[in-house]
Amino acid sequence: MRPIKLFTAACFMFFALPAFSQDASERNSEIGSKVLAQEGTDKVSWKNGKYTYEKILEVPGADKKTLYERAKAWVKVNVKTSQDHIYFDDAEQGSIIATTAIKIKDSKNSVMTNQFVDFKFKIYFKEGRVKIACDDFVYHGISQAGEVLQKDFDNLKSMYKTFQKEIYTDFDEHFPQMIASLESSLKKTGTNDDKW
């Protein structure tokens, strides 16, 4: 009887354990934001393991003041948080720093609700150029049991794989839309609002 138990244990360790560890390493490498982790031609960097986003826009013919005014108008309409935080706003220095959030839809089986990812949103201006930089991405949500979760966005590993994918997929859909909206506002040409 004893040799059978030893043989069974040896087989489990030889065949099953490597499968479990392979699963874990695959899980950690597969899941994450595709937008923040090198998608397209945007410059993306890692700072101490945290997600960051950076993009430089060329806006030929637009001076620093015009770019600042366009961005400021966009921020007033689009950057909404519960506290409407604009930390730093300096037209002369050419920068706006705020916090904003992207709402994440509730999980399919409502295990996680009231989800969002907040982050710092920075816009810097020079003649004909704008730099958009985002960092400090933090996930927030409420579990079905009422537990309030707050985690670094790059470290959702304690959540089920399915929930992680839902969160990252939803974020990756909405974040580029927000950036594209800002780009559109910055690159707009004069309007005919003054002409009747």
Instruction: Dump pLDDT digits (tens) for 64-98.
Output: 999 999 998 898 888 865 555 667 888 888 899 98
In whole angstroms, what is the distance from residue 163 CA to residue 107 CA?
7
Whether 112 shows a pLDDT value over 90: the answer reads no
Per-residue pLDDT band for 192 (boundaries 50, 70, 90) equals very low
Average pLDDT over residues 7-24: 38
Average pLDDT over residues 49-58: 85
The CATH code that applies to domain 33-187 is 3.30.530.80
What average pLDDT does the structure give for the chain?
76
Amino acid of residue 31: I
Per-residue pLDDT band for 104 (boundaries 50, 70, 90) equals very high
- pLDDT at residue number 45: 47
- pLDDT at residue number 87: 72
- pLDDT at residue number 88: 82
Whether 111 shows a pLDDT value over 90: the answer reads no
pLDDT digits (tens, 9 = 90+) for 128-159: 999 999 988 999 999 888 999 999 888 887 88
Residue 74 backbone dihedrals phi, psi, to 5 degrees:
-65, -45
158 vs 193, more confident: 158
Whether 103 shows a pLDDT value over 80: the answer reads yes
In whole angstroms, what is the distance from residue 155 CA to residue 120 CA?
17
Residue 175 backbone dihedrals phi, psi, to 5 degrees:
-60, -50
Burial 87-111 (b: 16+ CB within 10 A, else e): eeeeeeebbbbbbbbbebebbeeeb
pTM: 0.73
- pLDDT at residue number 7: 45
Range with lowest mean pLDDT among 41-45, 57-61, 85-89, 96-100: 41-45
Of 22, 10, 121, 125, whose CA–CA distance to 70 is shortest?
Answer: 125
**Which contacts of 55-58 are long-range, i.e. CB under 8 A and separated by 24 or more positions?**
55/131, 55/132, 55/179, 56/129, 56/130, 56/131, 56/132, 57/129, 57/130, 57/131, 57/132, 57/183, 57/186, 57/187, 58/128, 58/129
In whole angstroms, what is the distance from residue 54 CA to residue 133 CA?
4
